[in-house]
Structure 1
Amino acid sequence: MAEPGTEPNPKSGVIGRGTYSESLRIGAILRKETVGGILLVITAAAAIIWANSPASDSYFALRDFTFGYEPWHLELSLGAWAADGLLAVFFFLVGLELKREFIAGDLRNPRTAVVPVAAAVGGVAVPALVYVGINIFSPDTLRGWAIPTATDIAFAVAVLAIVGSHLPSALRIFLLTLAVVDDLIAITIIAVFYSDDIQVTPLLLALIPLALYTLLAQKYREFFHLKPAAAWFILLPIGFVVWALVHAGGVHATVAGVLLGFAVPVLHRKATAGPDAGPGLAELFEHRIRPLSAGFAVPVFAFFSAGVTVGGWSGFVSAVTDPVALGIILGLVVGKPIGIVGTTWLLTKLTKVNLDPALRWVDLIGVALLAGIGFTVSLLIADLSFTPDGSTNDHAKVGILTASILAALIASVILRARNKQYRMIEADEGVDADGDGIPDVYQERSNPADETVTAPEPDDAGTRADNEGPRSGS
């Protein structure tokens, strides 16, 4: 029998609380991302101020300063190192999180996964269609169709921290899962549509160190009798070789980050599982790398990417009335909520399952607007879509910044107005009348025939063997 809190909560509608362990894990992740999100906002603001100050030339000189080893195609500007190198760290975490969700998380059950996955697809498709509709007669700008499809979870949780929203666990889990699936779609779009001048030889060569990395990650204990901490020093150099070869092959190097994340095992293998097995490799990597990603990699990328010369009020008006910026703004602020909420509403009609009784559709609209903060990945796609020094790229970035601020402000108003209700839900979720350490809302059972079945959840990190015996590694 599964441990308390690892079984599904009662049937609570199309968006539910999930398991208690998942709620704890998501809460811990969002707390870490809050600090990174605030740093992200600060560094982006600093870049914009510097780029529009009398010392703007020094900002662009710093961004465009190049260094590296040219024979390996690694003589890059600081801005390119941030986009191709530091964001690979971010996407490595995306790979870890995606694998964890679909191997050991609540999303291992298709019935649980269908809502956030479908909502993420809707939240990508509708903004893209909005952008295309506005730029349909401009072939040169259509290449930016994917810019308004992204969601920036760090920026979103920073907004939550600033407005003091007591967002219920069901909405927090929905938001993070939505962002993770969104990232998967974004990296797929980048790999398929924004890879130019493909070089087959480096890509084929990359398969060799990737296979070695995967083998060592899966069986590091058997091969070297190493603790997870020691495995880091062996896997990191191999991972760098994979990244360099993928970069030389013409595929955006952040794709290498996702592939390397997928290669790390989430669960202990049978040979190493057991009550004294300790944390797994994925848990250790996430614990060590998330602060690096949220506190350094993403803010530094934002600093070098967000700096755009606006040109005063007239320049701002000219930028936001450009079809590129209009497509991005309307795509993120209008298209995202319509895609996410509309898809979720459609699922309620098709499955005849209602929204959680404690929530209202306005709550989902607020979360969908948070998802309209596309900042980090949107900036990356803008740089891939248009010439970095061109006016179209500048207008795209003004559109991204404007849309992110508008989405954050509107979401803040909606969620702030609902804080009283959220506090009541938060209080209910904290009641533990039987004193067993698991809130009662995660244990109350409805008619078994009506329950949504979810596979048993691992512990809070999702990497240890459960109490029913060892499991195979993945």
Structure 2
Amino acid sequence: MYRVWNFVTNYSLLLIIGALLALIWANSDPHGYHHFVEYPLWFNDWVGVDAKAWIASYGEDFHTGDTASRLRVLTAHFLVNDILMAFFFAIAAKEVWEAVILKNGSLRGRKAATPLFATAGGMLGPVTVYLGLATLLGSDVYDAAANGWAIPTATDIAFSYLVGRIVFGAGHPAVRFLLLLAIADDAAGLIILAIFYPSGALALEWLMLSLGAAIGVFVLFNWLPRTLDRGDQLRRKSTWVRNHLSFWPYLIAACLSWYGFQESGLHPALGLLPIVPTIPHADRAFGIFSEAEQYLTDLLNHIEHLLKHPVEIILFFFGMMNAGVEFSAIGAPTWLVFAGLIIGKPTGILLFGWFAAGPLKLGLPRGMRMIDLLVIGCVAAIGFTVSLFIASVAFEPGPVQDAAKMGALFSFAAAIISIVAGRLCRVEKRYG
């Protein structure tokens, strides 16, 4: 795990800059900011949000009333959140896939048991705190905010890993534990998005297009060349496919899969997930921050490297499109999200981790104490990226969504809380 600083600067620095610019813009010129976010790029019949609903909400502001009966409008917000962010989630899915399926994958076997239990606690704890406090605040708050229950379940893998190294030191076993928990959290977050936050009325028959694209590209461009190469040490067929076709068949399949997700009602940002497992991959996983991964030449890692810089830019615009919240929007959902992360995460991770390591006798990594689970929980309370994304799909644009987003932004306070908790719990840093 040598590339954490590169990873954080590559995937998070531009995101932070975009978020800060959005905050400044939204609080200095809110009309100009929202005009930028909802700018109509293309009226069409295939891609985008419902044109009638968009016109009802924003048409007057853009002096748009007649769209020649077009069904959809591709807005700047839809382009970033629903199309371009699909590449970000594809990279997350790639790491989860390798961790689960490959030899030496970090989520395989007994070593992952306690982190997986802690992950469950780190999701159930925030949900319990969020909904419990919403109930105490009255039916009006509960009815308005209940759909955002999943917002505080997220863990920002890059920022959490960075803070974890600051608190524990690079060589502490708790850092590895935190990384396993964050990867599992990402996997659970993808499932939650797919099941609980559809983008429209469900038409699941369209998933057959995604399934067909995944099966077709796997059979024709992965399984078939390898089958024809049996007995050929030079692997001529596979080599020809790799050299001449490269990633293009998978990109075409990804477009078909994305469209299938959009039409099915599932969130289209998850549309590339069925294609990721079909891409030829390495035989073993070295870990998301492992230096060895940069030397792998399989197509899956090659595609990830090609997406590196584009995803940096995508995350910048994601921050711009989603973090522009006026400070006056702070309200009950802000504190529900914040409490779910700051209180629910550490409590859930500690309780479930203790139950797995103690009564279930699954144990902790050597050199890790039970109290370290509490500190890990504080570090994992940094939600940010995925919390912002869930907030944008859990609520319609408006005061409740803005308030919930502010709670996700406030989760950066977990970094300070983690450092203080580390000192109070007498964490001994290890740099080996």
Fold shared per TM-score above 0.5? yes
Q: Any residues of structure 2 matched to 1:130-141 within 5 Å, and which?
A: 130-136=129-135, 137=139, 138-141=142-145
- Contact 1:337 1:365 (C-alpha < 8 Å) held by counterparts: yes
Does 1:190 pair with 2:188? Answer: no
* AA of the residue aligned to 2:171: P
Q: Any residues of structure 2 matched to 1:53-72 within 5 Å, and which?
A: 53=28, 55-68=29-42, 70-72=44-46
RMSD between superposed Cα atoms in Å: 2.8
* AA of the residue aligned to 1:301: F
* AA of the residue aligned to 2:24: I
Q: Measure how far apart 1:360 and its partner are.
A: 3.7
Q: Measure how far apart 1:207 and its partner are.
A: 2.5
The match for 1:281 is 299
Aligned equivalents of 2:27, 2:379: Cα separation in 1: 27
Does 1:41 pair with 2:19? Answer: no
- Contact 1:220 1:226 (C-alpha < 8 Å) held by counterparts: no
Aligned equivalents of 1:397, 1:299: Cα separation in 2: 16
Q: Which moved further from structure 2: 36-45 or 114-123?
A: 36-45
* Identical positions, percent: 29
Q: Any residues of structure 2 matched to 1:192-211 within 5 Å, and which?
A: 192-195=195-198, 196-211=200-215
Q: Any residues of structure 2 matched to 1:420-459 within 5 Å, and which?
A: 421-422=428-429, 425-426=430-431, 429=432
Does 1:370 pair with 2:385? Answer: no
* AA of the residue aligned to 2:44: E
The match for 1:344 is 353
Aligned equivalents of 1:45, 1:108: Cα separation in 2: 35
- Contact 2:118 2:349 (C-alpha < 8 Å) held by counterparts: yes
The match for 2:157 is 153
- Contact 1:93 1:286 (C-alpha < 8 Å) held by counterparts: yes
Aligned equivalents of 1:265, 1:30: Cα separation in 2: 28
Q: Which moved further from structure 2: 40-49 or 226-235?
A: 226-235
Q: Measure how far apart 1:159 and its partner are.
A: 4.4
Does 1:391 pair with 2:399? Answer: yes
Q: Measure how far apart 1:343 and its partner are.
A: 1.2
Aligned equivalents of 1:331, 1:421: Cα separation in 2: 28
Aligned equivalents of 2:412, 2:107: Cα separation in 1: 34
Q: Any residues of structure 2 matched to 1:276-355 within 5 Å, and which?
A: 279-293=297-311, 295-311=312-328, 316=330, 319=331, 322=332, 324-352=333-361, 355=364
The match for 2:260 is 245
- Contact 1:66 1:78 (C-alpha < 8 Å) held by counterparts: yes
Aligned equivalents of 2:116, 2:43: Cα separation in 1: 41
Task: Return closer, same or farther for 1:181/1:396 CA change in 2, 3 Å cut-off.
Answer: same
- Contact 1:135 1:141 (C-alpha < 8 Å) held by counterparts: yes
Task: Return closer, same or farther for 1:266/1:359 CA change in 2, 3 Å cut-off.
Answer: same
- Contact 1:151 1:377 (C-alpha < 8 Å) held by counterparts: yes
Aligned equivalents of 1:108, 1:200: Cα separation in 2: 30
Aligned equivalents of 1:228, 1:340: Cα separation in 2: 46
The match for 1:179 is 182
Task: Look up the SS of the partner of 1:67 in the other structure.
Answer: strand
* AA of the residue aligned to 1:35: N
Which structure ranks higher in relative contact order (CA pairs < 8 Å, sequence separation ≥ 6)? 1
Q: Measure how far apart 1:361 and its partner are.
A: 4.1
* Equivalent of 2:96 in 92, 95, 98: 98
Aligned equivalents of 1:231, 1:112: Cα separation in 2: 36
- Contact 1:228 1:280 (C-alpha < 8 Å) held by counterparts: no
CA deviation string 1:319-340 (max 9, x = no partner): 2xx1x22221111001011111
- Contact 2:167 2:418 (C-alpha < 8 Å) held by counterparts: no
- Contact 1:348 1:355 (C-alpha < 8 Å) held by counterparts: yes
Q: Measure how far apart 1:61 and its partner are.
A: 1.0
Task: Look up the SS of the partner of 2:187 in the other structure.
Answer: helix
CA deviation string 1:227-270 (max 9, x = no partner): 3684213321221221122112211012222222232233459x
Aligned equivalents of 1:169, 1:420: Cα separation in 2: 10
Aligned equivalents of 2:372, 2:170: Cα separation in 1: 9
* AA of the residue aligned to 2:268: A
The match for 1:466 is none
Task: Return closer, same or farther for 1:357/1:101 CA change in 2, 3 Å cut-off.
Answer: closer
CA deviation string 1:262-304 (max 9, x = no partner): 32233459xxxxxxx97222222223324433x2222321221
Aligned equivalents of 1:134, 1:116: Cα separation in 2: 27
TM-score, structure 1 as length reference:
0.73
- Contact 2:202 2:264 (C-alpha < 8 Å) held by counterparts: yes
CA deviation string 1:84-141 (max 9, x = no partner): 1122111111221111111223446421121121111111111011111122332332
Count residues with an aligned counterpart. 380
Q: Which moved further from structure 2: 183-192 or 255-264?
A: 255-264
Does 1:400 pair with 2:400? Answer: no
- Contact 1:366 1:411 (C-alpha < 8 Å) held by counterparts: yes
